[in-house]
Amino acid sequence: MEETKFNMPLLGDDFPEMSVQTTHGKMNIPGDFKGKWFVLFSHPADFTPVCTTEFVAFQKRYEEFEKMDCQLVGMSVDQVFSHIKWVEWIKENLDVEIKFPVIAANDTIANRLGMLHPGKGTNTVRAVFIVDPKGKVRLIMYYPQEIGRNMDEIVRAVKALQISEKQGAVPAGWPNNELIKDRIIVSPPSDEKTAKERLQDKSLECFDWWFCHKPYEK
């Protein structure tokens, strides 16, 4: 029998529908998060040092994600019993209560999300999917097993995605960009007339007609 293969979702794709078992009970993803942003992140295995530091770090930023109306969801191919015990261990030994659900995935689910990379062993890699309220995949990141993630970057990415939808593109390192700090980049003109007019727009600051920026509306 041929092995079933799945194509991982790409940016702009619908996040694949999945019925999953979690530490908070059965869930349908992305259906249960309709109208909300969510960050689904996978980890290689429960009861491992790097993953434990990541779970604590995510939980420490739980309120920041809540303020952005963004749900955190963990995932690995460990059984739900293992997840429950590990979460209990973190609470008892590190005094950190994990408030987000953790999915007990199988290989089929992991394959659908591109989490199993043969060159990196049998465990899932550290994947991050940021999904918008319409269930569209907006950002994907993969990390190897030996490198823990930077949760501040994930918080920043969610905030930047939400702001870019309403205000425009954000620069590198936003909100602490070396050139324009927290200002928002204006889309470059697509015709000569607009290009000539752009430099006359007093509401903007420009390096040239193709690189203009405006204040960030907080």
CATH code, domain with 103: 3.40.30.10
Element housing 209 (H / E): none
One domain for residues 57 and 116: yes
Whether 93 is covered by a domain: the verdict is: yes
SS3 199: coil
Give yes or no: residues 108 and 54 share one domain.
yes
Within a domain: residue 161? no
Annotated active-site positions, please?
51
Helices (H), the chain: 49-60, 62-67, 80-94, 107-112, 151-166, 192-198
Q: Quote the number of domains for the chain.
A: 2
**In terms of domains, do 125 and 210 share one?**
no
The whole model's pTM is what?
A: 0.90
SS3 26: strand
On whether the CB atoms of residues 145 and 44 are closer than 8 A, the answer is yes
pLDDT band at 109 (very low <50, low <70, confident <90, very high): confident
**155 in any annotated domain:** no
Average pLDDT over residues 108-136: 79
Do 49 and 95 share a domain, yes or no? yes
Q: Domain for residue 185, yes or no?
A: yes
Domain carrying residue 206: 167-218
Q: In this structure, are 140 and 181 located in the same domain?
A: no
Output the average pLDDT for the chain: 91
Which pair of tokens denotes residue 118? 């043969």
**Of 12, 25, 7, nearest to 131 (Cα)?**
12
The pLDDT of residue 116 is above 70: no
Is residue 6 scored above 80 in pLDDT? no
pLDDT exceeds 50 at position 32:
yes
- Residue 176 placed within a domain: yes
The answer to whether residue 102 is domain-embedded is: yes
Amino acid letter, residue 117: H
Task: Classify residue 81 by burial, with Cβ atoms within 10 Å: 0-12, 13-18, 19+.
Answer: exposed
pLDDT value of residue 93: 98
Looking at the fold, whether 146 and 201 belong to one and the same domain comes out as: no
Q: For residues 174 and 146, state if they share a domain.
A: no
139 with 186, same domain: the answer is no
Going by DSSP bridges, is the β-strand pair 126-131/184-186 parallel, antiparallel, or unpaired?
Answer: unpaired
Secondary structure percentages of the chain, helix, strand, coil, to 5: 30, 25, 45
Tell me, yes or no, whether 2 lies in a domain.
no
DSSP-assigned beta bridge partners for residue 25: 22
Q: In which element (H, E) is residue 41 found?
A: strand 37-42
Residues 196 and 119 reside in one and the same domain: no
- Asked if 133 and 196 sit in the same domain, the reply is no
Tell me: do 58 and 144 sit in the same domain. yes
